[in-house]
């Protein structure tokens, strides 16, 4: 898959799902959706179904939803975006980022469904050649039952005990074909964090739909928390600013696409989470900024005047351009340009 096709696939998927969230929620709360478009630019083909025009545009990077009264005041129409109750508008605005998180869950679930999800129990799927487990004679199919005389039943218990015993003589008892076998080995410290490892692989259950969505949700939540923590560290200067702009993202997408489709799906899930979070930032023009404006209207009971709303949008444009410029600068610095 070429870089261009991979880029179109990833960002088309992310933005269309984002807009689909706005579209579905707008329909749900009774807002008139005038158009749902896939892509931008000149019209290729369109069809009116019910009250909405569905269109395909020439440039397949993204899409948009046009709702009645979203950009400007209309005549007194109860189905206009601006005339709907504040809670309804908040739901519509928040549905876009929410759909990005749901897309990440789905993409991770597809990956887990294909590659497998961690099985329960403490059975070894395989051993890594040259590792402590292989040298001690452990084999795939062995079930670990005790470590240093203490009973273990789950893989998490195995990892916890072994991780704490780097460089220490450790006895491990396994069940093999109905027999009990005890071996002695020394866990090796991992290069990245020094935790003990013995070179064993966990059993994976493939094609398990429910478990795949559970692990997809778990992966999405964990990744989201990691990004938020990392962002907090960058803002407090506890970690270097590491951001990527369009140039860097295109490069990464192209590189990942060469390694396989599942890896591209994993990157798409990661980018979808980032897009969902970024859109929740309280920056004018983004969903987060609009959530603040509509929320303020709900608290005060008064909408912003057109002049103030225009000023806020101008500030939003400047902020977004500044963020884009900073990210692009980091891209070129990373590329050595």
Cα–Cα distance measured from residue 6 to residue 94, given in angstroms and rounded to the nearest whole number: 28
Q: What is the CATH topology of the domain spanning 124-202?
A: Pdz3 Domain (2.30.42)
Catalytic residue among 19, 34, 51, 123: 19
Place of tokens 């069809």: 47
Q: What is the CA radius of gyration of the chain?
A: 26
Only one residue has tokens 């395989």, namely 126
Dihedral sign computed on CA atoms, order 249, 267, 271, 64: positive
pLDDT digits (tens, 9 = 90+) for 150-176: 999 999 999 999 999 999 999 999 999
Confidence band for 245, pLDDT divided at 50, 70 and 90: low
Query: How buried is 224 (Cβ within 10 angstroms: 0-12 exposed, 13-18 middle, 19+ buried)?
Result: middle
Q: How far apart are the first and last CA of the chain?
A: 26
**19 labelled catalytic:** yes
Q: What is the pLDDT of residue 98?
A: 97
Q: Give the tens place of pLDDT for each residue, 17-51.
A: 999 999 999 999 999 999 999 988 899 999 999 99
- Find all residues with CB under 8 Å of 265, minimum gap 6, and list them: 107, 110, 111
Share of the chain above pLDDT 90, in %: 59
Nearest to 185 by CA among 238, 233, 131, 124: 131
Asked whether the predicted pLDDT for residue 334 surpasses 80, the reply is no
Q: pTM for the complete prediction?
A: 0.82
Average pLDDT score over residue span 56-61: 87
Chain-wide mean pLDDT for the chain?
88
pLDDT at 238 over 80: no
CATH 2.30.42.10, the chain: domain bounds = 124-202
Which pLDDT value is given to residue 250?
A: 72
Q: 330 pLDDT exceeds 70?
A: no
How far apart (Å, rounded) are the C-alpha atoms in residues 103 and 64? 17
Per-residue model confidence (pLDDT) at position 72: 65
- State both tokens at 214: 């559970």
Higher-pLDDT residue of 160, 247:
160
- pLDDT-based confidence at 202, cuts 50/70/90? very high
């Amino acid at each position: 898959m070429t870089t261009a096709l991979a880029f179109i696939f990833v960002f088309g998927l992310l933005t269309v799902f984002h807009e689909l969230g706005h579209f579905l929620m707008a329909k749900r709360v009774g807002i008139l959706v005038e158009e749902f478009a896939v892509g931008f630019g000149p019209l290729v083909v369109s069809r009116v179904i019910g009250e909405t025009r569905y269109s395909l545009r020439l440039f397949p990077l993204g899409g948009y939803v046009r709702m009645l009264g979203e950009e400007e005041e209309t005549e007194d129409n109860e189905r206009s975006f601006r005339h709907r109750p504040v809670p309804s508008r908040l739901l519509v605005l928040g549905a876009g980022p929410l759909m990005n998180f749901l897309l990440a869950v789905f993409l991770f679930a597809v990956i887990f469904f294909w590659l497998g999800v961690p099985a329960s129990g403490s059975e070894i799927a395989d051993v890594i050649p040259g590792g402590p487990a292989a040298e001690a004679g452990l084999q795939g199919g062995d079930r670990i039952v005790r470590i240093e005389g203490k009973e273990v039943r789950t893989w998490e218990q195995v990892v916890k005990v072994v991780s704490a015993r780097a460089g220490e003589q450790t006895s491990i008892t396994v069940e093999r074909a109905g027999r009990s076998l005890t071996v002695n080995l020394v866990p090796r410290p991992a290069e990245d964090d020094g935790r003990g490892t013995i070179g064993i692989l966990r059993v994976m259950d493939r094609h398990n739909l429910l478990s795949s969505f559970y692990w997809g949700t778990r992966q999405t939540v964990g990744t989201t928390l990691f990004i938020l923590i990392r962002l907090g560290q960058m803002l407090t200067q506890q970690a270097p600013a590491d951001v990527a702009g369009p140039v860097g993202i295109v490069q990464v997408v192209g590189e990942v696409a060469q390694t396989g489709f599942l890896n591209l799906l994993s990157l798409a899930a990661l980018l979808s989470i980032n897009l969902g979070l970024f859109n929740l930032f309280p920056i004018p023009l983004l969903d987060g900024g609009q959530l603040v404006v509509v929320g303020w209207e709900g608290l005060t009971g008064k909408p912003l005047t057109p002049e103030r709303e225009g000023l806020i949008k101008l500030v939003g444009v400047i902020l977004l351009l500044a963020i884009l410029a900073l990210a692009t600068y980091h891209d070129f610095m990373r590329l050595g340009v």
